[in-house]
Amino acid sequence: MTINEDITTTLREKYGLMMGVEDAAKELQLAINTVNNMCQRRDLAAIKTKRKWLIPTQSIIDYLIDHLTLPPEKNPLPVHTIVNGRRKLIV
């Protein structure tokens, strides 16, 4: 099984067809506000229902696959590591 198939299978089993902003933020390792902004800017395909965004799981899968295949210097997702029990941004 390739990484793409593994990501697809795992997320679809975990969330089904749609997920909320909180779940998407957790999977993308981003802040909830950042994911909300990504939905507003249409960086992620999403549907707004009243005051909440619903994000198709496939949109998160596509975003992860696109950004996992980029070289690190072109990848817009922040990379973190744990140093002395604290999360540190790798630049």
pLDDT at 86: 72
pLDDT at 65: 83
Report the distance separating Cα 87 and Cα 66, nearest Å: 24
| Strands 79-83 vs 47-49: parallel, antiparallel or unpaired | unpaired
Report the distance separating Cα 38 and Cα 71, nearest Å: 21
pLDDT digits (tens, 9 = 90+) for 15-26: 999 999 999 999
Contact of 89 with 79, CB cutoff 8 Å: yes
